[in-house]
Structure 1
Amino acid sequence: MRSVGLGVYFGIKENRPKYRDYISEAKVFGFSEIFMGIGFILKEKNVDKELKEIRDFSIYAENLGYYVFTDINPEFMKFFNASPDNLEPYLKTGVKGIRLDYGFNVEEMAKIIRNARRLNLYVELNASIFSEGDLERLSKLTDFENVKASHDFYPPLYTGISLEEVIRKSSPFKRFGIPVGIFVGSNREKLRNTVESLRKYSPWQAEEILFATGKIDRVIIGDPLEDSQDLKKEGEVASRDYIKIRVIPYNISDEERKAFNHVLYSRKREFAVSAGDYIENKVTPRCVVRKFRGSVSIMTNRPDYIEVWIWTKDSPADPTFTIIGEVLEEDMQIVDLVEDHDKILLEAIESRFT
């Protein structure tokens, strides 16, 4: 099940007065998680005051229905006078999840997971650095009932990892049924991203691509204080259980328009992705031309079934297919990620050149 979350950072003190209104507004749009950055506290003098503010915010967020998690590492353990056998000091923060950023071995992680369970805490594994072998070893020491995973984010340009690497690193967690989270930057800042190539996209477009991988369950908008309209779009993507692909339609008939705004079920082919459902189909051969990568066509002469073909390779003209449009160029990355039995919906959009 998809979910979408927010990043808030208490070290940016000028933002603190805005956070409660921010998360309240985002909740309306379906946001349900918060990654809370509290690394600043290691250098604070008035720790009790800061901890109270962090705890009060965590409780406020939880009362709204948010799951709140934060990073920990051995330095934090020492600061909080905690250990893998004693996690109770973290309850002072009010968070419901502790993310093991770095510095723990597999045996320590197993202890942390078991002891966190007794305190009704989730443990987040670092999906960017945790190896498949370590995950296998960990599975022999504990179950994963209270375990999630989430990737790192990389603010400086050109420091993020590739989408292919995210898929590779996330796959073992999915095999164990562990939900995987990832960060995308806001539309304004584009700083706290996991995937470098997605930094250029709007956050909701990046979100669409990430969910289409089938390896990502949770997307966190890493940069704080996202704009309202962007929050709304990001919430809409997470609310769906299907992949949306934007298509520029040609001069199509009402019958051909049935290809749009219906959830269709996909199959991956050598030259295309096909998707269909049982809908009356009176489409006849009309625009029979060579198909190029990104062409969208409907199969003709199938009276009880609409079957759309999105071509991923060039192929010759064939009266079996009538061309109805073309996929928006940036959405072809989504098409390439579609697998058998995915649910997809084609959205007709205006050409950006008209």
Structure 2
Amino acid sequence: MYGFSIFMNKDLDEKTYSYIDKMANQGFKGIFTSMHIPEDEVSLYKKRLMDLGKRAKENHLKLMVDISANALEKAGFSINRLKELKDLGVTGLRMDYHISNETIAKVSQELTVSLNASTITPKDIDELKEHKANFSKLEAWHNYYPRRETGLSREGFLKKNEFLKNHSFQVMAFIPGDDFLRHPLYQGLPTLEEHRFKHPLACLLDMESMNVEHIYVGDGGLKDYTLKQIKGYFQENVLSVRASQTTTSFSYVLGQHENRQDDARDIIRSAQARFKEIPEIIPENTSERSRGSITIDNCDYGRYMGEIQIVKNDLAADEKVNVVGKIIAEDRPLITFIGSGQKFKIEKEKNND
């Protein structure tokens, strides 16, 4: 499942409501929010949660609320009155080690409970079983890490997830957004440090490759084109990339393609490109081919003339291959995920993307 974050440090306004509606329409299914409440804003958070829950219900979105030990009580709610929260639209609570396993087990009979993936121990699991927790309602959620250099390593992440999955937990992790980054650091909110400042869709695809069941955008927003790329992947299984033009033949590569089933090591090969009717391609800009270069085989390649490729690994110049464009740096991480049979679309870079 895919989700996104809404922070309640200010009242929900029309811009926030519009963002929620847009994300729901693009295929996102859940909202994450936090109830770690400053002392002077208790009443404000209660109203904000009510407003957020109402909008979540209207869009058929799940709503996971991160709580501290006394956050609910501060806002006038209670773990002992879960129906009140459910009526608001809350579908789950994220609970940490300050809350007893007995309480967690009790809540799991009525709501989804997400536990801190990094701190779950075999002892916790034994205690949850002892208190008859509903394990079908328990999920393991990793944190996001606002400060640079503090995100998890891939190795540690995979090792922990193996432990969690062996105990039947579904795993959730955060990917960074690329708009409205979270204050005060504005350095993204990823789970994995290597994802910080990377393209959100590339991070999402990477999480999928590691069999993470629930993937949420940590930051408060996505750029319009990023959201368009994600929608294309969700709804049509197409990966769109933007490219800059190098030669006049660039127009031939624009549009939708499909990588060949026999996925090459060094290049992505458009399966249908050279079978299209195109004018003779004369040698032009037969330069070195760095990662992200878009090429067309010229007439010196005989029957291969017109083959369109995207370069995955740096290659030497070839007098039979024209370099006609290049995937922009921001979208280049997506190249990794254009595998066997994957549909992809090349679009011309626009200055306002």
TM-score (norm 2): 0.67
Q: Which residue of 1 aligns with 2:215?
A: 218
1:235 aligns with one of 193, 213, 227: 227
Q: Which residue of 1 aligns with 2:4?
A: 5
- Determine if the alignment matches structure 1 residue 286 to structure 2 residue 277: no
Matches within 5 A, 1:1-354: 3-9=2-8, 12=9, 15-16=10-11, 19-31=12-24, 32=28, 33-40=30-37, 43=39, 51=46, 54-72=49-67, 82=79, 90-91=85-86, 94-102=89-97, 111=105, 116=108, 119=110, 121-127=111-117, 146=137, 150-161=141-152, 178=170, 180-185=172-177, 187-189=179-181, 190-191=186-187, 193-194=189-190, 195-196=192-193, 198-199=195-196, 201=197, 206-215=199-208, 218-223=215-220, 232-241=224-233, 242-253=238-249, 257-265=251-259, 268-270=263-265, 272-279=266-273, 280-282=275-277, 284=281, 286-287=283-284, 288-298=286-296, 307-317=308-318, 319=320, 321-349=321-349
After TM superposition, give the deviation of residue 261 of structure 1 in Å: 2.2
Gap runs ≥5 in structure 1? none
Instruction: Spell out, residue by residue over 1:191-217, the C-alpha distance to the aligned partner (whole angstroms, 9 max, x if none).
Output: 551244555x4xxx6312212315266
Query: What SS does the aligned partner of 2:200 have?
Result: helix
Taking structure 1 as reference, are residues 259 and 150 closer, same or farther at Cα in structure 2, changes over 3 Å only? farther
Taking structure 1 as reference, are residues 50 and 23 closer, same or farther at Cα in structure 2, changes over 3 Å only? closer
The 8 Å contact of residues 95 and 104 in structure 2, kept in 1 or not, is answered as no
The 8 Å contact of residues 116 and 143 in structure 2, kept in 1 or not, is answered as yes
Taking structure 1 as reference, are residues 239 and 46 closer, same or farther at Cα in structure 2, changes over 3 Å only? closer
Taking structure 1 as reference, are residues 330 and 179 closer, same or farther at Cα in structure 2, changes over 3 Å only? same
The 8 Å contact of residues 6 and 222 in structure 1, kept in 2 or not, is answered as yes
Taking structure 1 as reference, are residues 146 and 22 closer, same or farther at Cα in structure 2, changes over 3 Å only? farther
Q: What is the alpha-carbon distance in structure 1 between the residues aligned to residue 99 and residue 340 of structure 2?
A: 38
Taking structure 1 as reference, are residues 167 and 219 closer, same or farther at Cα in structure 2, changes over 3 Å only? farther
Taking structure 1 as reference, are residues 178 and 90 closer, same or farther at Cα in structure 2, changes over 3 Å only? same
* Length, aligned pairs only: 321
After TM superposition, give the deviation of residue 90 of structure 1 in Å: 4.9
Q: Taking every aligned residue pair, what percent have the same amino acid on both sides?
A: 16
After TM superposition, give the deviation of residue 38 of structure 1 in Å: 0.9
Q: CA RMSD in A?
A: 4.7
Instruction: Spell out, residue by residue over 1:109-135, the C-alpha distance to the aligned partner (whole angstroms, 9 max, x if none).
Output: 9946xx64x53x333354555689999
